[in-house]
Amino acid sequence: MPPIQIYRLASMTQPPSLESLISTSGASFRLLTDSERQASLNAFLKHWHPHHDVWVFGYGSLVWRPEFDFLEQRHARVNGYHRSLCLWSRINRGTPERPGLVFGLDVGGSCRGMAYRVASHQVQDTMQELWKREMPSGAYIPKWLNCHTREGAIRALVFTMDRSKDAYVRGLSKEQLVAIVQGARGTYGPCSEYILETAQALELAGIRDRKLQTLVAQLRDKPPDAAQGSQP
């Protein structure tokens, strides 16, 4: 008689704890050097014509705090990606020991946001500042993507999530999301402020994000002390 084989159900495997996820994600965390960040920017600008304006697509803090001059703004939609709290923030909205979460564009679905047109003569300076802000650790992949607007299609700079980075996170429970957001604070302020400001800006722009609205409702229902106490 052949030996009896015992199979373990995958569903019985315990998911990693929040502490484990945080520890693993920070194992290789580091900031890009100035030369590495400049190389990334140069590679992106190789596909830009010096006399052309550049569109920038915003889906998170760029919706309510672009911090650069622009000639025009439009409601825009990117297909193939969706807004997600999938990026650990260990500087701006958290610390290495207690990271927060910020938005990235993860694959699948679509995302509505705001597109800004930067004048050609301001592109170099604007991109330098934007790379310092959005690419401190190189967690995004800057891409030229087609965006759909009421006035017609445009091609814009879009910061998409680099899934190969340790800073990428997915599969967090609602309870974990609330605990992380309520308990994190970085150089730019509380993580919860970032979430609430983004939600408010999207709402004012007439952009509905059901998942974000659900998270905001949970944050408002649960006081920070209670949320922090629930974190493993």
Query: What pTM, to 2 d.p., does this model score?
Result: 0.86
Tens of each residue's pLDDT in the chain, 232 residues: 555 444 343 334 455 676 766 766 666 788 999 999 999 999 999 999 999 999 999 999 999 999 999 999 999 999 999 999 999 999 999 999 999 999 999 999 999 999 999 999 999 999 999 999 999 999 999 999 999 999 999 999 999 999 999 999 999 999 999 999 999 999 999 999 999 999 999 999 999 999 999 999 999 887 665 444 433 3
The pLDDT assigned to 23 comes to 66
Instruction: Tell me the C-alpha distance between 47 and 118, whole Å.
Output: 16
User: Could you tell me the sign of the dihedral formed by the alpha carbons of 162, 40, 28, 63, in that order?
Assistant: negative
Pick the CATH number of 30-229 from 3.10.490.10, 3.40.430.10, 3.40.50.1010, 3.30.70.660: 3.10.490.10
The pLDDT assigned to 227 comes to 46
The pLDDT assigned to 182 comes to 96
For the chain, domain boundaries: 30-229
Phi-psi region of 65 (alpha: psi -120 to 50; beta: other; left: phi over 0): beta
Instruction: Tell me the C-alpha distance between 161 and 151, whole Å.
Output: 27
The pLDDT assigned to 225 comes to 53
